[in-house]
Amino acid sequence: MNRHRKTGNKPGTKAGPIHFLVHHLNRRFYAIRRKVNSLLGSFVFSLLIYLTLRLLHLTMRITVVGGEVMPTLLRRGEGYVVIFWHARLLMTPFFIYPGRVMHVLISAHRDGEIIARVVEWFRFITPVRGSSTSRGKEALLEMVRLLRENGDLAITPDGPKGPAEVLSPGVAHLARLSGKAIVPLAFSASHCKRFSSWDRFLIPYPFSRGVYVVGDPLYYRKGEHMESFRLRIEEALRDTTRRADEYAGSKI
């Protein structure tokens, strides 16, 4: 007489339904835990970056040139597009924005995720995800809609991968389609570090003098060739950046 009880599985066969369910639940548990850890990690990391930048800004002596440009547009109830080079974006969120909500175009790539999470700590900033290489058409349509509703936008027109200080055609098309102004903005510092990245990214040193320069608004002229308009915007932003460097006494 065989004293061993029969089981639902023989050696070498697959596990039964209970084992399959347990295995599936374990996989789901670990996947959820990884996601929670990732969210907590990005939350803490973005907060640390924000607080570090906030502390850096507090040590600096700040000067604003052309600070009346944006309030004037705001009083008219007119939305606009602020542009600044990718290399100068680090301290740009600390510029005293006179409106309520600034929509900022941020790359839809993974490297844009950290930037999006950091800028969300600035309560007046709302990210718009997209770039010339990813979700470009959707982002353009969304920005045109926001501008037609008199919203304000901010764009780095040479990002996310360059070439440095070469304006993408999308900015000119955005101004033409919306009929809104392009406002050049530049930041510079008396003492700063320039990295060897594609854009020569700028980080100011603590206790340096920081300068924001706002250029005159630019509008699309009816019948203007788009390349001529693009070059006009590009030169205006380069000139605004040169002025910021001169005011700051920067030797970069």
Q: φ, ψ for residue 5 (rounded to 5)?
A: -75, 145
Q: How many Cβ atoms from other residues are within 10 Å of residue 187's Cβ?
A: 26
- Looking at residue 142, its pLDDT comes to 87
- Looking at residue 217, its pLDDT comes to 98
pLDDT of residue 2 exceeding 90? no
Name the percent of the chain lying above pLDDT 90.
61
Q: How confident is the model at residue 233 (pLDDT cuts 50, 70, 90)?
A: very high
Beta strands (DSSP E) in the chain are 61-65, 80-83, 102-106, 125-129, 152-155, 181-189, 192-194, 202-204, 209-214
Instruction: Among 3.30.1360.10, 3.40.1130.10, 3.40.980.10, 3.65.10.10, name the CATH number for the domain at 60-248.
Output: 3.40.1130.10
CB of 106 closer than 8 Å to CB of 116: yes
Question: Residue 103, Cα to own-chain centre: how many angstroms?
Answer: 9
Task: Enter the pTM of the model.
Answer: 0.80
Q: How many Cβ atoms from other residues are within 10 Å of residue 76's Cβ?
A: 11
The structural domains of the chain, with segments of one domain joined by +, span 60-248
Q: Burial, 204: exposed, middle or buried (Cβ in 10 Å; 0-12, 13-18, 19+)?
A: buried
- Looking at residue 137, its pLDDT comes to 74
Residue keyed to tokens 């390349």:
227
Tens digits of residue pLDDT in 114-134: 788 888 899 898 888 766 555
C-alpha–C-alpha distance, residues 150 and 101, integer Å:
11
More confident residue, 227 or 160: 227
CB of 144 closer than 8 Å to CB of 114: no
